[in-house]
Amino acid sequence: MTSGSLTHLQSLEAESIEILREVAASFERPVMMYSIGKDSSVLLHLARKAFFPSKIPFPLLHVNTTWKFREMIAFRDAMAEKHGFDLISHTNPEGLANGINPFDHGSSRFTDIMKTQALRQALDAGRYDAAIGGARRDEEKSRAKERIFSHRNASHAWDPKNQRPELWRVFNTRLNPGESMRVFPISNWTELDVWTYIYSEGIELPSLYYAKSRPVVDRQGTLIMVDDERFRLEPGEQPRQEVVRFRTLGDYPLTGAIRSDAATLPGIIMEMQASRTSEREGRLIDSDSVGSMEKKKQEGYF
Amino acid sequence: MSLAALTPDTDIALWLNQQTEKSLLRFLTCGSVDDGKSTLIGRLLYDSQLILDDQLASLKKESHNRTVGDEGIDFSLLVDGLTAEREQGITIDVAYRFFSTDKRKFIVADTPGHEQYTRNMATGASNAELALVLIDARKGVLTQTRRHSFILSLIGVKHVVLVVNKIDLVDYDEAIFDRIVAEYRAFAEPLGFSTLAAVPVSALRGDNILAKSGRTPWFDGVPLVPYLETIQVAEDRTLGKMRFPVQWVNRPNLDFRGFSGTVASGVVKVGDEVLIASSRRPAVVKSIVTMDGELSQAVAGQAVTLVLDREVDISRGDMLTHAGETPEFSNQFQARVVWMSEEPAYPGRSYLLKLGTQLVPATITDLKFRTNVNTLEQTAATKVDLNEVATVTIATDKPIAFDAYTSNALTGGFILVDRISNATLGAGRIDFGLRRAQNLTYQNFDVNRDVRSQMKGQQAKIVWFTGLSGSGKSSIANLLEKRLTAEGRHAYILDGDNVRHGLNKDLGFTEAARVENIRRVAEVARLMADAGLIVLVSFISPFEKERRLAREIAGDIDFVEVYVDTPLEVCESRDPKGLYKRARAGEIKNFTGIDSPFEPPTTPELVLHGAENEPAVLAEHLHGWLKI
């Protein structure tokens, strides 16, 4: 519901803060997913606002596949230091021991083991009853139907036919033993809302979002940055320097860069407004098959 | 302002301001199966140029073998997100969509038309300011149209646009449009919508969506999008009475104690005297804290942290308000509920009720009637089934703060949750409180209970005797009062039977009447104790819930629950009033111990065994225990 005197962004901010406080007040062991991207950065900022002057009353969890951009990890640690939040980093130990990587095992198997299974391990180990994520309803079709408080059964699965109706701002946060809740405080934000909020609040982001000369290779039309020596070059392939930036951040071998000159936030916002390609296109994991995101969600992917 | 004309950094502030100054309209689409809701929303997204190149490409591929418009696209594919729905060809859940034009931002709730999912429509309506009611021009007004329109009015959606879709399939016939609109207006008249417009459209072909269609020259209204861009729907919630539900107590260290929450309505300013709705204790707002600095005031919709000038007992679920405009604070109210579960609602069953940040056990005490959503007729009922609407009275285990839903949806709307499965079973809107004392503010007087008790040389308290009829409650209370009076104390006995002859003679023996009976007696006991008396209440009070209610009403007054535990056979053999005999003969129904249960207290302050000792001995023992 809107209020006559608040701007659109102020209303969205207040709604998100209310949701974050509801989590802190209603659950015994909440945790906030921290993926270091722009949506996570907005979420972190909102959580600091929600509980000020208290510190964020729950830990932040980063599922580290070990294939993130190096800068993301440095940025993550700097943020934890600066804002004094409790950071938990988890990597699937079996995946690590078996050397699971995106080159030998393919994007879907790698994602399943190092992301989906790793997330379940971390949630089980922490006995977290609520996990806060930065998903938005405008991102993808199956997410448009996601609840703000999304119920998961004891095996972290999402049953689209068994979701609780959400009326007004009254959220049913009750759980039976073993069940958990995924909570999405920025459900009602659009990508443009996220960027304009980052701009107006001066929120820090990893520099990967800004255009810069970076070493890339072209893989079937997708520009992949060669971030470290583990990258497998094809025979005769040579990384070349191109001025690129990233619209989403993830595992560097699976994240496509775009050619861009936008080296400032206003430049990014304007470029985004003029662009005609949806955000998730840069993520290789979604284009596998129709309904792939829904399938991943039912399996427990965020 | 066109983007091409802008240069980064210099003009971006202007452009961003233009973005943030846009107003927001939340609306929902509803109607029957196959009315074309998803196609309409897909059309709105497409026409507002929100469909990106890669989505368009995959869409054209997926549109193969489907009904498509001139653009070669099945627009419903844009919004039917779940694989299951695509297979069944129906929308089964609420989907939220976002688009904007130069004038407004829109959040659209696409709600299902399939009958079993009506609960989702109520969900979508609860956060919407306007509704598009879709009708298939070939089919006209259907049962679902009526049902959904009734739910819209129940949930309080004030603005409706009747979208007569598929007008192309009836050859753009004006007479058909006029007939449908007339039929709908006649039905919707008693539903009291503030505005009701009608538009003939073809979502598939784009008629009367962005601009007037040349194929409906007879239509003299405004096309859909221009209408949505300009209609005024915003109610200014800052004008309402101030309501601040405390969501989270903010306590980073011993020096700071703040109360975090979102202002539900009105304005709260630094320096305001506020009252805590439950205790009616006053405090003054010392500061309004946010991470962006302290504010001088916070308005409806803002999420802030209030710091008060004194130590007061406030926790999550409390509500802060201004004196003189306090909400109702009661444990009983009349409400209308929409039932959303396969498991029907029955009077007497216990649920959890959540209203704002308050969560309490609650019981439907009376099912007044069910409203037929097709005819709006009211009929008697013994239960409420899935997708039905009923008018009920609800009793909560402890009093809660609320407003009538018509004056504030955020403090008058609630959900009911199953105590075992934790599923959300239903949603309700409060019509009015059943304890009509809402406008009274407690006056704090200088002569208080302590002063009055000291004058009498005693400590005021309530001694609550519970036990079967004939267990010896009244005899013990009588002896105790005699003893206290002999010592110069001031005591008074409230007897269940005697109160029924006067104060409560208007009450019967239904569950709601029983709760009210207990409530009144507990309130009188509280007043007498507040006057400094030692109050002895002799009351069968067979249910744990009722005794808990009495204890809650007593508040900070010393409350002693004495269980006079006498076996049923002994009580029945005594039968001082001949009631057991009559109950056995079937002359009295619902008699405790015979055909109505007695729930033994689990944690009484004292147990007296009525079969083992004479009342005089027990009274003596109690007297010693009370140390009066």
Taking CB atoms and an 8 Å cut-off, how many pairs form between chains A and B? 217
3-state secondary structure of B490: coil
Q: Kindly list the residues from chain B whose CB atom is less than 8 angstroms away from the CB atom of residue A51.
A: 248, 250, 260
Q: Which residues of A259-283 are buried (b: 16+ CB within 10 A; e: fewer)?
A: ebebeebbbbbbbbeeeeebbbbbb
pLDDT of residue B69: 66
- H/E stretch holding A234 reads none
Helix ranges, A52-171 (H): 70-83, 93-97, 106-111, 118-126
The structural domains of chain A, with segments of one domain joined by +, span 8-195+291-299, 207-286
pLDDT per residue as tens digits for the range A78-91: 999 999 999 999 99
pLDDT per residue as tens digits for the range B222-278: 999 999 998 887 666 778 899 999 999 999 999 999 999 999 999 999 999 999 998
pLDDT per residue as tens digits for the range B6-49: 455 557 777 777 777 777 889 998 877 677 887 888 888 887 76
- CB distance B95–A174 less than 8 Å? no
Confidence of residue B61 (pLDDT cuts 50, 70, 90): low
Q: Is the pLDDT of residue B2 over 50?
A: no
Confidence of residue A29 (pLDDT cuts 50, 70, 90): very high
Confidence of residue B117 (pLDDT cuts 50, 70, 90): low
User: Who has greater pLDDT, B377 or B135?
Assistant: B135
Portion of chain A with pLDDT greater than 90, in percent: 63
pLDDT per residue as tens digits for the range B528-557: 999 999 999 999 988 888 888 888 888 889
Portion of chain B with pLDDT greater than 90, in percent: 46
Q: Is the pLDDT of residue A286 over 80?
A: no
Q: Which residues of B378-391 are buried (b: 16+ CB within 10 A; e: fewer)?
A: eeebebbebbbbbb
Mean pLDDT, residues A46-73: 96
Mean pLDDT, chain B, integer: 86
- CB distance A196–B20 less than 8 Å? yes
Q: Is the pLDDT of residue B132 over 90?
A: yes
How far lies A274's CA from each of A267, A277, B2, in Å?
11, 9, 10
Confidence of residue A180 (pLDDT cuts 50, 70, 90): very high
Query: How near does any CA of chain A get to the CA of B10, in Å?
Result: 9
* Cα–Cα distance for residue pair A45/A38, rounded to 1 Å: 11
Query: How near does any CA of chain B get to the CA of A290, in Å?
Result: 8
Confidence of residue B209 (pLDDT cuts 50, 70, 90): very high
Query: How near does any CA of chain A get to the CA of B608, in Å?
Result: 39
pLDDT per residue as tens digits for the range B235-244: 667 788 999 9
Confidence of residue B75 (pLDDT cuts 50, 70, 90): confident
pLDDT per residue as tens digits for the range A95-107: 999 999 988 988 8
Q: Where are the strands (E) in B504-567, listed by range? A: 534-538, 559-565
Confidence of residue B339 (pLDDT cuts 50, 70, 90): very high
Weakest-pLDDT range from B64-73, B186-195, B255-264, B401-410? B64-73
| ipTM, interface predicted TM-score of the complex | 0.88
Q: Is the pLDDT of residue A189 over 80?
A: yes
Question: How many Cβ atoms are within 10 Å of A226's Cβ, its own excluded?
Answer: 19
* Cα–Cα distance for residue pair B458/B627, rounded to 1 Å: 10
B-contacting residues of A 76-115, CB under 8 Å?
Answer: none
- Rg from Cα positions in chain B: 31
Mean pLDDT, chain A, integer: 87
- CB distance B355–A144 less than 8 Å? no
Give burial (CB, 10 Å; 0-12/13-18/19+) of B191: middle
pLDDT per residue as tens digits for the range B292-315: 999 999 999 999 999 999 999 999
Residues 6 or more apart whose Cβ sits within 8 Å of residue A290? B62, B83
Give the nearest partner residue to B410 out of A14, A51, A169, using CB atoms: A169
Contact B465, B539 (CB under 8 A): yes
Q: What is the dihedral of CA B357, B358, B364, B367, to 10 degrees?
A: -50
The fold adopted by the segment(s) A8-195+291-299 is Rossmann fold (3.40.50)
Beta strand pairing call for B297-299 and B267-269? antiparallel
Domains in chain B, CATH or no CATH each = 3-230 (3.40.50.300), 237-322 (2.40.30.10), 328-433 (2.40.30.10), 449-626 (3.40.50.300)
Mean pLDDT, residues B324-353: 89
- H/E stretch holding A16 reads helix A8-26
Q: Is the pLDDT of residue B82 over 80?
A: no
pLDDT of residue B554: 87
Q: Kindly list the residues from chain A whose CB atom is less than 8 angstroms away from the CB atom of residue B300.
A: 3, 5
Q: Kindly list the residues from chain A whose CB atom is less than 8 angstroms away from the CB atom of residue B38.
A: none
pLDDT of residue B297: 95
Query: How near does any CA of chain A get to the CA of B130, in Å?
Result: 11
Length of chain B: 628
User: Who has greater pLDDT, B286 or B5?
Assistant: B286
Mean pLDDT, residues B575-597: 87
Helix ranges, B65-112 (H): 83-88
- Give the distance, in angstroms, between the CA of residue B231 and the centroid of all CA atoms in the same chain: 29
Closest CA to A167 of B338, B150, B225, B525: B338
* Cα–Cα distance for residue pair B424/A162, rounded to 1 Å: 10
pLDDT per residue as tens digits for the range B460-483: 999 999 999 999 999 999 999 999
- CB distance A18–B55 less than 8 Å? no
Question: How many Cβ atoms are within 10 Å of A22's Cβ, its own excluded?
Answer: 25
Instruction: Give the chain A residue whose CA is nearest to the CA of B6.
Output: A270
pLDDT per residue as tens digits for the range A111-152: 999 999 999 999 999 999 999 999 998 887 667 777 899 999
Q: Could you tell me which residues are beta bridge partners of residue B321?
A: B243, B275
Mean pLDDT highest for which of B56-60, B94-98, B418-422? B418-422
Portion of chain A with pLDDT greater than 70, in percent: 87
Q: Is the pLDDT of residue B375 over 80?
A: no
pLDDT of residue A154: 82
Confidence of residue B405 (pLDDT cuts 50, 70, 90): very high
- CB distance B302–A10 less than 8 Å? yes
B-contacting residues of A 29-48, CB under 8 Å?
Answer: 48
Closest CA to B29 of B88, B90, B112: B112
Q: Is the pLDDT of residue B68 over 70?
A: no
Portion of chain B with pLDDT greater than 70, in percent: 87
Beta strand pairing call for B23-31 and B104-110? parallel
Confidence of residue B121 (pLDDT cuts 50, 70, 90): confident
* Cα–Cα distance for residue pair B265/A141, rounded to 1 Å: 34
Q: Is the pLDDT of residue B322 over 80?
A: yes
Q: What is the dihedral of CA A99, A105, A107, A109, to 10 degrees?
A: -90
Beta strand pairing call for B319-322 and B273-276? antiparallel
Residues 6 or more apart whose Cβ sits within 8 Å of residue B2? none
User: Who has greater pLDDT, A248 or B286?
Assistant: B286
Q: Kindly list the residues from chain B whose CB atom is less than 8 angstroms away from the CB atom of residue A21.
A: 247-248, 260-261, 303
Q: Is the pLDDT of residue B438 over 50?
A: no
User: What does the block give as tokens for B250?
Assistant: 């903010």
Active site residues of B: 541
Closest CA to A122 of A114, A159, A175, A68: A114
B-contacting residues of A 215-254, CB under 8 Å?
Answer: none
Q: Is the pLDDT of residue A63 over 90?
A: yes
Q: Is the pLDDT of residue B437 over 50?
A: no
Question: How many Cβ atoms are within 10 Å of B612's Cβ, its own excluded?
Answer: 11
